[in-house]
A and B are shown apart, each in its own frame.
Chain A
């Protein structure tokens, strides 16, 4: 294990001009016009990433996650503190940012490769792989300005993942392209992981972090509020999201709802595979509130097993304590521990109350199937 990214007390401040005066006349006539405010985008962030590790950076818009990433990639210089990097780094901050639309796809591959630090010979060696991955063989000599946005993005991603970086930095680019291409990208990231490279993934999609990351860092308002196992970080992320939501809700005179606990009649969350289960969710509400009840079930590895339909389970909460019963008539899952998240969302899908890892179900299975779900397949020769 080698530390490949070492972020040490990094802070970044931006000057915000309230009246932008970029013309010479303005500067000469009003040298001090327009107030300048210093905005602190990152304050005293320290963490490190070792080789072999995939770390997610979570945060909502404006939390400083993109600023942090840009500092790590060297696009921005931190105001104070320093970042030490070991090995080569390829960043996917914005796919195709380095493309010159007047040039052909081929020329752009070489130019973009050079920007990511490759020599011409280096690009020659991986050119065919890039073209194959991007699936635009027929258009490689066409000017990029005639590309569809999908082709553009595929080519850029293909270059970045084929340059053989030690550290790959990905900023919410996995949301582009069609589903098949997205799956291909996720596959490539998994290959990277197997090869023992470090990946830094910035996203606000909790699912992606759960599915891909070993560890997660949560940023809020430029501060690092969590740095630990994915489950813990996600809990903190959700809770902070809610705190913000509650603040907004006060303005909108909406209900204050919180989820207190999840219990079972027997007090045990152990269940045999194939058996049914019932549990009660205790919710307290300050006012009467109507919304939808949502439940998610995750494996410990972070894979979403099931999410209930948010529109399908309306609940009418009355002021005070409420109880919602959840019946799982038959659990077809195999051996393992499954985490349950429960929440209340409003009719637009905005989260009103959420409890991450509200319960953990322990499933025991004695059959012979492997995997996640018991299909009960019967096999006979015909």
Chain B
């Protein structure tokens, strides 16, 4: 009908526009490219997630510091004051491990149900679905950064310095942590669509995972020797979060051998006495494994997302 309209405005030429293909299954490079092309959406989602979480609460974003501080206080009370584990500056030791654990657990907890919860969006708007889980991870990174800032202030207040020589390993360790968190979050978000029980199961699994990681106890001081005697050390280190926590503790708690606050003040090995190069090697190996894990998680997600529509 518009054939007769003389004032037809010619817009841009579409000949040069890129062609996008929607087909049965996108391969991994395509998935990564699609993800990257929507990084603006990811940023938007991260900040809307944070805004929604603290909307209508008086203290707002302060809760992201307050609630870990309270958790830390409770653990400190239980282990340092009540059961008297004798670790000096136990709050600092706890802080270094909790900051890692909080990032992992916070993101995984949120991401497990994210696709089910946002079914309306998933069924109606086109975007790489992994972004929903990645937005939860991104929000966790923001909280992590805030907590890291508080940890630095804490160090200042105690008049202690981090292990400067080890500091360059921190980014490697953090990227490994990010990839681990993202991989678990992405896979869990998709699996929950098919098995809704995962949400409840995950709560328990995360608790178990927490106690398998050396956050509130010292790996070196408690179980290292026994694991070594039975040749089971490798089993403990299957848990990829353990080397990350040990690295953070090494960097922020610094001391490997301390004197117990309990009389008669014996010396205790609180952290492994590994050299800097062993820490670097451990973290680089872990990073390599985590990159593979992340790519694997995207592939698994790609397999699972095909039937979201009929399951949601």
Interface residues of A (CB under 8 A from B): 2, 4, 14-17, 22-25, 27, 51, 70-88, 91, 93-94, 97-98, 100, 102-103, 107, 110-111, 114-115, 117-120, 166, 193-197, 214, 301-302
Do A83 and B21 contact each other (CB < 8 Å), given the known contacts A94-B124, A120-B40?
yes
Residue from B1, B38, B120 with most neighbouring chain A CB atoms (10 Å): B1
Contacting residue for A76 out of B41, B43, B197, B309, CB 8 A:
B309
Answer whether residue B233 sits at the interface, using C-beta atoms and an 8 A cutoff.
no
Interface residues of B (CB under 8 A from A): 1-2, 5, 7-11, 13-15, 17-26, 38, 40-41, 43-45, 48, 51-52, 55, 120-127, 194-198, 201, 305-307, 309-311
Residues of B within 8 A of A114 (CB): 40-41, 43-45
16 further interface pairs, Cβ-Cβ under 8 Å (given A24-B198, A97-B120): A22-B195, A51-B14, A71-B22, A73-B126, A74-B22, A75-B123, A77-B24, A78-B24, A81-B24, A97-B125, A114-B40, A114-B44, A115-B125, A118-B40, A193-B2, A194-B9
What is the bound-complex CA distance between A85 and B25, given in angstroms?
16
What is the bound-complex CA distance between A39 and B298, given in angstroms?
28
On whether the beta carbons of A23 and B126 are closer than 8 Å, the reply is no
Do A97 and B194 contact each other (CB < 8 Å), given the known contacts A107-B48, A302-B1?
no
Residues of B within 8 A of A70 (CB): 309
Do A85 and B125 contact each other (CB < 8 Å), given the known contacts A14-B309, A115-B41?
no
On whether the beta carbons of A77 and B48 are closer than 8 Å, the reply is no
On whether the beta carbons of A107 and B19 are closer than 8 Å, the reply is no
On whether the beta carbons of A85 and B123 are closer than 8 Å, the reply is no
On whether the beta carbons of A91 and B197 are closer than 8 Å, the reply is no
On whether the beta carbons of B11 and A197 are closer than 8 Å, the reply is yes
- Nearest A residue (CB) for B26: A77
**Closest CB of chain A to B101's CB: distance in Å?**
26
**Closest CB of chain B to A94's CB: distance in Å?**
5
- Nearest A residue (CB) for B38: A117
**Closest CB of chain A to B255's CB: distance in Å?**
45
Residue from B18, B38, B307, B310 with most neighbouring chain A CB atoms (10 Å): B310
- Nearest A residue (CB) for B48: A111
**Closest CB of chain B to A335's CB: distance in Å?**
14
What is the bound-complex CA distance between A25 and B195, given in angstroms?
9
On whether the beta carbons of A82 and B9 are closer than 8 Å, the reply is no
What is the bound-complex CA distance between A91 and B125, given in angstroms?
8
Q: How many A-B residue pairs have CB under 8 A?
A: 139
On whether the beta carbons of A83 and B23 are closer than 8 Å, the reply is yes
On whether the beta carbons of A214 and B1 are closer than 8 Å, the reply is yes
On whether the beta carbons of A194 and B120 are closer than 8 Å, the reply is no
What is the bound-complex CA distance between A214 and B44, given in angstroms?
38
On whether the beta carbons of B311 and A2 are closer than 8 Å, the reply is no
**Closest CB of chain A to B39's CB: distance in Å?**
10
On whether the beta carbons of B44 and A194 are closer than 8 Å, the reply is no
Do A93 and B125 contact each other (CB < 8 Å), given the known contacts A23-B196, A194-B2, A301-B1?
yes
Do A85 and B198 contact each other (CB < 8 Å), given the known contacts A76-B309, A98-B125?
no
- Can you list 24 contacts pairing A with B, beta carbon distance less than 8 Å? A2-B13, A4-B14, A15-B307, A22-B194, A23-B196, A24-B198, A24-B201, A75-B122, A77-B23, A77-B305, A80-B24, A82-B21, A82-B24, A84-B19, A88-B17, A93-B124, A94-B120, A98-B121, A98-B125, A107-B48, A111-B44, A111-B45, A166-B14, A194-B8
Residues of B within 8 A of A79 (CB): 24
Residues of B within 8 A of A103 (CB): 48, 51-52, 55
Residues of A within 8 A of B127 (CB): 115
On whether the beta carbons of B52 and A97 are closer than 8 Å, the reply is no
Residues of A within 8 A of B55 (CB): 102-103
Contacting residue for B126 out of A16, A27, A51, A74, CB 8 A:
A74
**Closest CB of chain B to A8's CB: distance in Å?**
9
- Nearest B residue (CB) for A72: B22
**Closest CB of chain B to A234's CB: distance in Å?**
15
What is the bound-complex CA distance between A102 and B306, given in angstroms?
30
The 9 closest A-B pairs by CB, nearest first: A97-B124, A82-B23, A114-B44, A74-B126, A24-B197, A83-B22, A114-B41, A301-B1, A87-B17
What is the bound-complex CA distance between A24 and B194, given in angstroms?
9
Residues of B within 8 A of A71 (CB): 22
What is the bound-complex CA distance between A22 and B11, given in angstroms?
50
Contacting residue for A86 out of B17, B122, B126, CB 8 A:
B17
- Nearest B residue (CB) for A164: B11
What is the bound-complex CA distance between A196 and B10, given in angstroms?
6
What is the bound-complex CA distance between A131 and B103, given in angstroms?
38
**Closest CB of chain B to A76's CB: distance in Å?**
6
What is the bound-complex CA distance between A330 and B307, given in angstroms?
60
What is the bound-complex CA distance between A195 and B11, given in angstroms?
6
What is the bound-complex CA distance between A195 and B15, given in angstroms?
16
Residues of B within 8 A of A78 (CB): 22-24
What is the bound-complex CA distance between A195 and B122, given in angstroms?
31
On whether the beta carbons of A15 and B310 are closer than 8 Å, the reply is yes
**Closest CB of chain A to B37's CB: distance in Å?**
8
Residue from B24, B25, B122, B198 with most neighbouring chain A CB atoms (10 Å): B24
What is the bound-complex CA distance between A301 and B44, given in angstroms?
44
Residues of A within 8 A of B13 (CB): 2
**Closest CB of chain A to B18's CB: distance in Å?**
8
What is the bound-complex CA distance between A16 and B123, given in angstroms?
17
Residues of A within 8 A of B25 (CB): 77
What is the bound-complex CA distance between A82 and B41, given in angstroms?
25
Residues of A within 8 A of B18 (CB): 86
Do A2 and B14 contact each other (CB < 8 Å), given the known contacts A78-B23, A114-B44, A194-B7?
yes
- Nearest A residue (CB) for B25: A77
Residues of A within 8 A of B197 (CB): 23-25
Residues of A within 8 A of B5 (CB): 194
Residues of B within 8 A of A110 (CB): 44
**Closest CB of chain A to B122's CB: distance in Å?**
8
On whether the beta carbons of B20 and A84 are closer than 8 Å, the reply is yes
What is the bound-complex CA distance between A88 and B208, given in angstroms?
47
What is the bound-complex CA distance between A59 and B196, given in angstroms?
35
Do A81 and B23 contact each other (CB < 8 Å), given the known contacts A114-B41, A166-B17, A214-B1?
yes
What is the bound-complex CA distance between A124 and B41, given in angstroms?
15
What is the bound-complex CA distance between A107 and B51, given in angstroms?
10
